[in-house]
Amino acid sequence: MSVQLDVPVLAGSLVRLEPLTMEHAVDLAAAVEEDRETYGFTLVPRGSQTRGYAAALLARPGLTPFAQVRVRDGKAVGCTGFLDPRPWPDRPALRAVEIGSTWLAASAQGSGINAEAKLLLLGYAFETLGVARVDLNTDARNHRCRRALTRLGISFEGVLRNWSMSWAPGEEGTVRDSAMFAVVASEWPAVRRALMTRLASAGMAAGVSGPPAS
């Protein structure tokens, strides 16, 4: 049986992670059509598909989806989520969870929103859920995403061959090699400091005083 998480709104200075609802679909329909050049390896719907996409995320067992809402204009500019929560074998507490189903509109990329969203999700996972590990993975060919994860201080653990489904155009129904990243509990303080330092720069660029709270 899948573990279902009940996570509140996670609020930062640049982004607010709101539990996904069908009401977010209108904003998401505009967000996905801004510029699709960076979506070559990521499952991102077309604008006309966002209601069905949101409904599918909400119905998926083991997934806790969020809309990434840009604070400065209140618009939903992407999605992310917790998935595959794994409990300890002898007790109901969680030992691990994955961050995934992540994408951002072109106008939100490079703005600090991705870094702050990771800070909020990792902070909740380690400090509230008390997990020992958080996983992240991407198509091994998605070097842009791999560089972004590395810049955030998240450890690369290797490539697992034929690990998950491919979302690359023309590869429907096939499997991909996945580049595996993770943060373990002992690394979280250092990763948190690195994310806060990165966000301090993004906050100053956006006219925000000081780094956001986790």
Whether the per-residue pLDDT at 93 is higher than 70: the answer is yes
Return mean pLDDT, the chain.
90
Of the candidates 211, 136, 150, the residue with the CA atom closest to the CA atom of residue 180: 136
Whether the per-residue pLDDT at 15 is higher than 80: the answer is yes
Pinpoint the alpha helices (H) of the chain. Answer: 25-31, 50-59, 113-124, 143-151, 188-205
Cβ proximity of 25 and 50 under 8 Å: yes
Please state, as a whole number, how many other Cβ atoms lie within 10 Å of the Cβ of residue 51: 15
User: Which pLDDT belongs to residue 202?
Assistant: 63
Q: Rg of the chain's alpha carbons, rounded to an integer?
A: 16
Distance CA 66, CA 29 (A): 15
Burial class (CB in 10 A: 0-12, 13-18, 19+), 86: middle
User: Which pLDDT belongs to residue 201?
Assistant: 76
Cβ proximity of 98 and 135 under 8 Å: yes
Strand pairing report for 155-165 and 76-87: unpaired
**% the chain with pLDDT above 90:** 77
Confidence of residue 80 (pLDDT cuts 50, 70, 90): very high
Distance CA 173, CA 87 (A): 30
Of the candidates 20, 13, 107, the residue with the CA atom closest to the CA atom of residue 67: 20
Whether the per-residue pLDDT at 208 is higher than 70: the answer is no
Cβ proximity of 166 and 175 under 8 Å: yes
Whether the per-residue pLDDT at 2 is higher than 60: the answer is yes
Instruction: Give the architecture (CATH level 2) of 10-205.
Output: 3-Layer(aba) Sandwich (3.40)
